[in-house]
Amino acid sequence: MRLLWTAFAVVAAWPALAAPAASELTLDDALDRVIQYHPELRGYAARTAALRAEVNLAGQAPPLRLAAELENAPGSGALAGVSGAELTISLAGVLERGGKLEARRALAASRLDALGVQRAATELDLLAEVARRYLEVAEWQDRAPLLQAELEARRDIARAARDRFQRGAEPETSALAADSAVIAIELEIEARAQAEAAAWQRLALLWGETDSDAIPDLASLPTQTPALPSPAALRALLQRTPELRAFADQQRLAEAQLRLARTAASFDLDWQLGLRRLQDGRDTALVAGVSLPLGSARRAQPGMAAADAALAALDSAHAAEALRLEALALAALDQATRHSARADGLERRVLPAQQRAADSAARAYRSGALSWLEWASLQNALLATRMDLLAARAEAQRALIELQRLTAEPFGAAANAGDAR
DSSP string, 271-333: EEEEEEEETTTTEEEEEEEEE--S-HHHHHHHHHHHHHHHHHHHHHHHHHHHHHHHHHHHHHH
Residue 201's pLDDT is 92
β-pair type (269-278, 86-95)? antiparallel
Q: How far is CA 195 from CA 183, 206, 215, 259, in A?
A: 18, 18, 12, 57
The pLDDT tens digits for 103-160 are 889 889 888 888 888 888 888 889 999 999 999 999 999 999 999 999 998 898 888 8
Residue 241's pLDDT is 83
* Residue 348 exposure: Cα atoms within 13 Å on the Cβ side: 8
Could you tell me which residues are beta bridge partners of residue 71? 86
C-alpha of 261 from chain center = 34
Those residues whose C-beta lies under 8 Å from the C-beta of residue 202, and which sit 6 or more positions away, are: 133, 136
Strand (E) or helix (H) holding 93: strand 86-95
Residue 10's pLDDT is 43
Measured distance CA(218)–CA(202) in Å, rounded = 15
- Tell me the pTM: 0.79
Residue 337's pLDDT is 93
Could you tell me which residues are beta bridge partners of residue 185? none
Residue 45's pLDDT is 85
3-state secondary structure of 81: strand
Q: What is the DSSP letter of 349?
A: I
Tell me which residue of 292, 295, 294 sits closest to 268, measured CA to CA: 292
Residue 355's pLDDT is 92
What residue ranges of the chain have pLDDT lower than 70? 1-23, 75-84, 279-281, 411-421
Is domain 27-217+225-317+324-407 given the CATH code 1.20.1600.10 in the classification?
yes
Contact 411, 11 (CB under 8 A): yes
> CA torsion 393→395→398→404, rounded to 10°?
-70
The pLDDT tens digits for 362-408 are 888 888 788 888 888 888 999 999 999 999 999 999 999 999 888 88
Measured distance CA(58)–CA(45) in Å, rounded = 20
